[in-house]
Each structure stands twice: as C-alpha cells, then as structure tokens.
Amino acid sequence: MLWLCIQLPKLSLEALTRAHRAGDTAPVAVSQSNLIIEANLAAHALNIEPGLSIATACAYCPGLQLLERDTEREAQLLQQLAQWAYGFTPVVSPRIGNPDSKALSEGPACLFLELGGSLKAQGGLAPLLQQLGKELHKMRITHRMGLGHSPSAAHLLSQLPEHRQWLAETRTPPSPQQWKQWISFAPSKLLDCSNKAIAKLYACGIKRVSQLLAIPLSEVGNRFGRDFIDYLARLNGSRPDPVPGYQPPAEFHSELFFPSPLDNSEQLLFPAGRLVRELCRQLQRRQLYSPTLYWILDYGSRGAEVVNVELSRPLFDPQRLIALTKLQLERVELKEPVQALALRCKQLRPLETTMLREDFFEESGNQHESYQLIDKLKARLGHQALSGVTLKESYLPEQAWASADSLNLQSKPRGHQLHPINAPRPNWLLSRPDRIQQRDHSLFYDGELQLLQGPERIDGYWWQHHRHARDYYIARGPQGSLYWVFQDLTSEDWFLHGVYS
Amino acid sequence: MNNAENFMQNKPLSEQTAAHPAQPLQQLLTRPDIWQLASRQRQPRTGISTGYRGLDALLASHGWPRGASTELLVDKAGIGEVSLILPALAEMTRQNRLVILLNPPHIPYAPALAQAGVQLEKLLLLHPRGQRDQLWAAEQALQSGACGALVSWQGRETLADKDLRRLQLAAREGGGLHFHFRPGSSASTPSPAALRLQLHSDGKQLALQLLKQLNGKSGQRLHLARNPDLTRRDQPLH
C-alpha cells in the first residue's frame, strides 16, 4: 500500500476565487466570524495573515476585498477534486477540512490516494507525482503532498518540509525502514490530534514522535486515551487504517463563482472554456460521454437560466465544445449580471465499442463533418428544428412513416429492416388529408380531377373502435398534377392525401 | 533530356516545345467559367447524373452541376418536380452523404423515398423559424462539405439577390448540390444560379425549359415522360 496525501491548505480561498484570471493582483481575503482565515499572495505581501481581525486587516490594506467563507462551495470543490483524482487511482478518499480546533482532526481539507496499484500504468512514481502536481497547478489549487504506508502516515508526512523535499526528488517508493525514520523524526506537533493533546505532549517534553514511540503503549494510553493509541497504531502500520472510499457519481457538475458579477455573455466564454476542459479530461479518463451539456447561468437571488448544448455523438475535443457553447451563449440575453457559471452533465454514459468502430474504419472525414454540421445546426436552431424520417410497419399510409430523432439518423439501421410497400406512393404526404369538393359525380380540387387508377382499398383497424376504410385513387388535375386521393368508405367523402411531385 | 537524345529517339523537336505553352492553356480551359464550344462532346462528366439521359445530354457538366445552385421554377406542385431530382438525391445518400431538405412544403413520404432508393438515415429535415435562421442554416449546410445536396423551397418572402449569391458561393465552397424551388414568376428576374430550369406540365409529361446555364447553351426544351405506373389509365370505377 502506498498512500498519497494531498493537503489543500488554501481551499477556502480557491473555492471563491478560482474563476479569476491568472494575472489578477488585487488583494483578496476570506473571513469567517470576524477573522481572516485565508489571504491570497497579493494580500500576504501586505502583511495580511490568517488570524487577523477584519478591522486590523482593513487598516493594513484599505483596498482589501473581503469574501465570506462558503463551506458548501468548498465541499463541492473538494468533491470535484476527488473526481479528478479518481482518474489516477480507483481508491480515493476526500476529507473535509475542519476549522474547529476542538475536533480530533483539524487542519485543511485533504485527499487520500492509494497509488500502489497505479504506478505501472502511470509510468512510475516520479512521472505520476509530476503529472498530479502539474494538473493541480493548472487548476490553480495550492497543495502539499506526502507519501506514506497508511493514510495517517501520509497525512503526517505531508506536513513535514524535509519529506516534501525528498518527495520532489525521489524516483522510487521508500522502504519500510525509511517510513519509520521519517515518522520518528517528525515533530509531535504534526500529529493529527487535538491542540489539547499536543499541548500535553509538549508539557511532557515529548517533542518528536520518536520519543513518544519509546514510551510503552499502555502508559501512553493512560494519559491520552484509547483513541490516541489507536491513532499511533495506524500511524505505525500495526493496525489497518480505513478511510471512506469515494465513488464518483454518474454525473458531472462544476461551478465557477464570480466575485464581481459578469454582465456580458462574451465574458462568460473564458470561464466556460475552463469548465469544458475540466469536463473533457474527466470524460476521457472515465471513458464516458455526455449527450447533453447544461450550462447554468446563476443570477444569484434572481433565479438561474439553463442553456443546453446537445451533441450527436461522443465528443472530447474542448475546442469544438466551446465553439458549440459559444453559438448557444450568443443567443442568450443576460437578464441580470451572472454571479456563477456551472456546467452540469446529468447522465454520463459509457462509451460503446460500436461508436468507436464507426469512427475508425467505416466512414472517415465525411461522417465526422456531418456530425459537426448537425451539432452546429442543433445549437442554433434548437433540437426540435431537426428531424429525420423512417419507415414504420403499418397498413395505414399516414402510419407507414415516422419522424425520427436526428440522433439515430446517422447510424445505419441494425437488425430488422423494413421494406416499403411495392405500389406507387406519392413523394409528399399531406399532414392532414385535404377535403375535395364533390359536385355531380365530379371531383374538384383546383379544377376538375380525373381519376386515372384505382381503387386500392386500405381497410385498417376494423377490429378497433375507429375504423379506417378508404379507396385510394391516382387522379390528375387540370394542370397535369398527379394527386393521391381517397374516398372514405364510411362517410363517402373525398380527400386529397398526397402529391406525386 | 537533351536535344541529342531527342534525335536518338526520333522525336520531333516541335512536339516538345509545343507541350510547354499548352500547359497554362490546359489549366485555363479547366476553369468552370470558360466555355469551349468545340470540345463540348468530349467533356467528361463533372456533375451528378440526373438519372434522365436526355437531360444529362443537355447539361454542360452532363449532370446536375456540383458546387453550384440550381433553380427549379415550378408553379404547381405534383408535376414531377421532386421526382426529377430524386435520382440524384438517392445517389448522394448511397454515397453516404447527407441530404438536407430545408422547410419542405409537405411531409416527405418515407415509403416513396425508400422506393426511389434514398437511404432514409442520411436524410435530414430542417425546419428553422424565420428567414434569417433559414438562410444561416442553408449557408452552414452548403459550406460544411458534409452535405451532398441541399433542397430548399422559397417561402413567403422572396430571397434577395445578395442572399442567393451567398448561397451560390457557399455551394461552391462546399462542393455539394443545391436545388432551390421558386415560383415560375421569378423567371424574369435575374439570378446568380448556375442553372435555371422552368418546369411545367403538358398534361402527361414534364416539360423542361433551360432558362440559363453557366458555360453551356440555354433555351432548349425537353419533355420527360412520367412514371408509366402513375399515368396509366385504367378507367377506375367509383
């Protein structure tokens, strides 16, 4: 077992400011119950530290932008990161940070990843750690990493600067001997227990974990309680260290919050691009695809607007997804300034091999272009403006065809194939049969009609309540047009049903 | 190859020198807007066969022109105007290319289309609202190159000359077929389309008149018989 702990010390700040552009240099701080709990680099340069009161911080820097802490958003971001980490290893466990010093586990939120099983797939320890670091950096998440043989050990070591330095240079996972050395070397203030317990440890003169481990366990237990003994055993690896496992949901949700609301739909494209790239990475890793993207424009207290982008086939190219999103967003008129932009995919479906096969062998560029065209048309005209036609098995002419979804349009029909009836049928069918005037045994529709052929009797559904009994004829109009007309046998009225155009 | 070698192979020098200046001329002659009357019969087929031999012979590209608009002027539906283009549409779907019907006046009846050989899964119907969206959709479809044929019907409003020209340019870019149905009254107004055909019926047959043809003769008339299965007269009783 090889556990990696990724600590996220600035999660409370990043949950609120991730949407900012990289070049932003305005000092920003996050506050909770009148205390600064986190500040960005620009604010740090002005001596604004966690723990200051708001009044002091404002005195240091009058232009300081203060944001209220939002634990819900933090938890959401942590879930997203867990989803991201799930792409590297199937065993992931997120832990929410706890600001209360009274709780047993305090400190920032962190993620535990079991790396032992995925070293080979990712090309060894060093490339894997580099990749993790690079992607976190790209997402602009501040992090600290530590490696251990159990989650508790990894958590402890991630706080040890010497260990982190070693981690940056290492190529192979360390031996059990090395774990023991690291852990005993660690100062006891890094132990994952309450402040009270740490104060007690220092009062006893125990400054390093090695000193603590030298004391017989029963005596430690007498002073610090059973939980503490448990914790030490997990740290040592002499007791299993379970962490709650993480299962990614079959949906994607990511949100960017804008501290200063945006009032122009063009400004939305930049954050939209970031969300789309996140989605694409996620989908590619999990081998899923999403038929629809839902963009949620959050107007704060004044409701939200949903814009959806439909895709006709699995698409992983962020550029193309952004182009489709742009088509949709261009049509949206912002009623209010947008406070947050979210991307949601309600159902992620597994990729099927049949879809891929079509991509590789059957049809090449041509097919690809038609998918692009359909997506583009759908994005601007809406889903309902596109349709196809298919055959249906029925005696009744109006039921012998069906409107088809343009989604299944492109795929070749598989399985049972219908054959059209072998009789002359018109190219155009009227959506409702048109009444034909009847006078003195003659029919009039734009002039007198002359019957050429017939009758073809179609008598359907006589076993049901509503009987359809018709005699169909081909008729010619005065200007040479050919029509498909029928006489309803129950009412004896004449109707025009199709045009041989 | 030097001159000495030419002598060895008994090749006249004049042939060599003549070949070089001919090259730019050949290039010039392949341009679509240059019409060479003398070599018309030898010209290879560049269009999509209409499925009617008589009509193919009249058309400069021996078929519907690719990458260009074709206007069909029809006053009365039902004279065989869709049947005229149906073989070409079916051929397009068989080549696995998309055929798009933009705002068709009625429901395209699937059994009849399937009978004509159209692969229905390649047929796309578009119903955009408003003329702006309609033009946008037509232009996108023609430009994309994915669309083998686009068939559009003039709605209530007449398209402006500039819009028709845009569609013609889009068709040239994408290289597909573009059929545009318009009422016969627009025959007198000029149009940028590469081919204009007036269609009417003389009772039993479909009568065609070539109003305009880019790099080809125009003014010819042609009568195409309709499917005998339809026009056969067997004195029905009713």
ipTM of the complex: 0.81
Q: Could you say which DSSP state residue B227 is in?
A: P
pLDDT given for residue B35 in this prediction: 65
Confidence of residue A98 (pLDDT cuts 50, 70, 90): low
Structural domains for chain B: 49-231 (3.40.50.300)
> Is pLDDT of A484 > 50?
yes
Give chain A positions within 8 Å (CB) of B83.
427, 500-501
Phi, psi angles (nearest 5°) of residue B73: -100, 115
Sign for the pseudo-dihedral over CA of B102, A446, A454, A433: positive
Check whether the bond before A455 is cis (ω within 30° of 0).
yes
Is residue A39 a contact partner of residue A77, using CB atoms and an 8 Å limit? Answer: no
pLDDT given for residue B147 in this prediction: 87
Give chain A positions within 8 Å (CB) of B107.
389, 401, 428-431
E strand residue ranges, chain B:
68-74, 98-102, 107-108, 123-126, 147-153, 177-182, 195-201, 205-213, 221-225
Q: Once rounded to an integer, what is the mean pLDDT over residues A34-52?
A: 84
A263-267, A447-451, B37-41: which has the highest mean pLDDT? A447-451
Is residue A251 a contact partner of residue A289, using CB atoms and an 8 Å limit? Answer: no
Dist. CA A371–CA A431, nearest whole Å: 29
Q: Hey, what's the torsion of the CAs at A203, A204, A205, A207, to 10 degrees? A: -90
Check CB contact of B177 with chain A, cutoff 8 Å. Answer: no
Superfamily of domain A252-380: DNA polymerase, Y-family, little finger domain (3.30.1490.100)
Q: How far is CA A476 from CA A296, A447, A485, B126, in A?
A: 56, 10, 10, 30
pLDDT given for residue B41 in this prediction: 57
pLDDT given for residue B15 in this prediction: 47
Q: Once rounded to an integer, what is the mean pLDDT over residues A436-457?
A: 84
Phi, psi angles (nearest 5°) of residue A232: -65, -40
pLDDT given for residue B100 in this prediction: 92
What angle is formed at CA A276 by the lines to CA A270 and CA A277, rounded to 5 degrees?
Answer: 95
Confidence of residue B17 (pLDDT cuts 50, 70, 90): very low
Q: Which three-class secondary structure state does DSSP give residue A293?
A: strand
Average pLDDT in chain A? 81
In chain A, the residue whose alpha carbon lies closest to the alpha carbon of B121 is: A409
Tokens (6 digits) for B98: 């998309």
| Contact: B126, A386; criterion CB under 8 Å | yes
Helix axes A195-203, A217-224, angle to 10 degrees: 120
Give chain A positions within 8 Å (CB) of B72.
none
Q: Could you say which DSSP state residue A361 is in?
A: I
Give the pairing type, strands A3-8 and B205-213: unpaired
pLDDT digits (tens, 9 = 90+) for A277-322: 888 888 887 788 888 888 888 887 888 888 888 887 777 788 888 8
| Contact: A409, B121; criterion CB under 8 Å | yes
pLDDT digits (tens, 9 = 90+) for A178-223: 888 888 888 888 887 777 888 888 888 888 888 888 888 888 888 8
pLDDT given for residue A408 in this prediction: 57
Sign for the pseudo-dihedral over CA of A121, A124, A125, A128: negative
Phi, psi angles (nearest 5°) of residue B59: -85, 145
Hey, where are the domains in chain A?
3-26+63-236, 252-380, 428-499
What angle is formed at CA A273 by the lines to CA A272 and CA A276, rounded to 5 degrees?
Answer: 85
Confidence of residue B37 (pLDDT cuts 50, 70, 90): low
Interface test with A, best of B124, B136, B144 (most A CBs within 10 A): B124
Closest Cα in chain B, distance from residue A44 (Å): 52
